């Protein structure tokens, strides 16, 4: 049964630090190549510019490096890209030894590695980054309390208009696949307004003590009946999985609370 869980490293990653060795300068980190070995996928981040550390001719070459590496990863695969970098590093560009890292989300770990080895990344809460919450904080934190309860801050999806009711969380379980993959990092909005019909929601189930089972992500559907003029009551509220291998179930109106609305998969 999927729910939003605390940060937990569930996968193994491997990474290289890219360094520039330029005339009259100490070697400096310029980028990270992070690989998901299980899926042979590469995650890359390089400095946005090199004019401040390199002569114009070297800066021009380095500016084209990230796109070149992305193209190589697409053509040869991520692990083969690492092999190629280790074999072909030049006097100007060199790579570190391979290092292992535990990963909950590759986008989040890439950001952390870049900050550690290349340059610090400024975090602007709800402007460039959204909070990553544990389950308990997501369910209990409201208003100004949200910012102080964040376990970490992660880059927001590009083009996303941010607000203080947004947060990220990991969803575990297969019942919402393929739309929400097991272990994926997802974006939610607290306290959704308007009709809930057909929306995918983060639900808190009352009377369930196990935190993993207490919170679930499901599609909400309901059927109402009229009890009087302009008066309606729920005839049935159903929480539905998207994966046909799992069964939906009915809940009573006073047996649950809606914590947040699911918006999209981040990773």
Q: What pLDDT, in 10s, does the model give residues 240-267?
A: 999 999 899 888 888 888 889 999 999 8
Alpha-carbon distance values, 133 to 66, 193, 200, 212, 237 (Å): 31, 21, 18, 15, 28
Using CA atoms, how far apart are residues 148 and 135, in angstroms rounded to an integer? 15
Q: Answer for the pair 141, 133: CB distance below 8 angstroms, yes or no.
A: yes
Higher per-residue pLDDT: 151 or 113: 113
Give CA 92 to chain center in angstroms.
34
**Does 86 score more than 90 pLDDT?**
yes
pLDDT at 42: 96
| CATH 3.30.2140.20 corresponds to the domain 125-265 | no
- What's the average model confidence in pLDDT over 45-74? 91
Domain ranges in the chain are 11-117, 125-265
% of the chain exceeding 90 in pLDDT: 46
Q: Kindly report the three-state secondary structure assignment for every residue of 199-255.
A: CEEEEEECCCCCHHHHEEEEEEEEEEEEEECCEEEEEEEEEECCCCCCCCEEECCCC
| Strand (E) or helix (H) holding 262 | strand 256-265
């Amino acid at each position: 049964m999927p729910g939003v869980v605390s940060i937990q490293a569930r996968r193994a990653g491997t990474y290289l630090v890219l360094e520039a060795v330029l005339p009259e300068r100490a070697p400096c980190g310029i980028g990270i190549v992070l690989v998901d070995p299980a899926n042979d996928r590469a995650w890359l981040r390089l400095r946005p510019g090199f004019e401040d550390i390199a002569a114009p001719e070297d800066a021009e070459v380095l500016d084209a490096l990230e796109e070149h590496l992305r193209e190589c990863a697409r053509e040869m695969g991520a692990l083969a890209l690492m092999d190629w970098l280790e074999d072909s590093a030049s006097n100007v560009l060199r790579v570190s030894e391979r290092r292992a890292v535990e990963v909950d989300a590759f986008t989040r770990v890439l950001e952390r590695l870049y900050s550690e080895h290349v340059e610090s990344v400024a975090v602007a809460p709800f402007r460039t980054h959204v909070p990553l919450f544990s389950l308990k904080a997501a369910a209990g934190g409201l208003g100004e309390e949200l910012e102080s309860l964040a376990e970490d801050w992660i880059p927001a999806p590009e083009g996303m208009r941010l607000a203080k009711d947004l947060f990220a969380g990991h969803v575990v379980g297969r019942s919402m696949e393929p739309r929400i993959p097991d272990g994926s990092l997802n974006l939610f909005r607290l306290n959704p307004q308007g009709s809930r019909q057909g929306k995918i929601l983060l639900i808190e189930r009352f009377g369930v003590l196990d935190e993993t089972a207490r919170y679930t992500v499901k599609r909400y559907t309901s059927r109402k009946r009229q009890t009087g003029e302009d008066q309606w009551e729920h005839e049935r509220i159903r929480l539905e999985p998207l994966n046909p291998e799992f069964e939906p179930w009915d809940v009573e109106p006073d047996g649950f609370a809606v914590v947040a609305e699911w918006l999209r998969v981040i990773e």
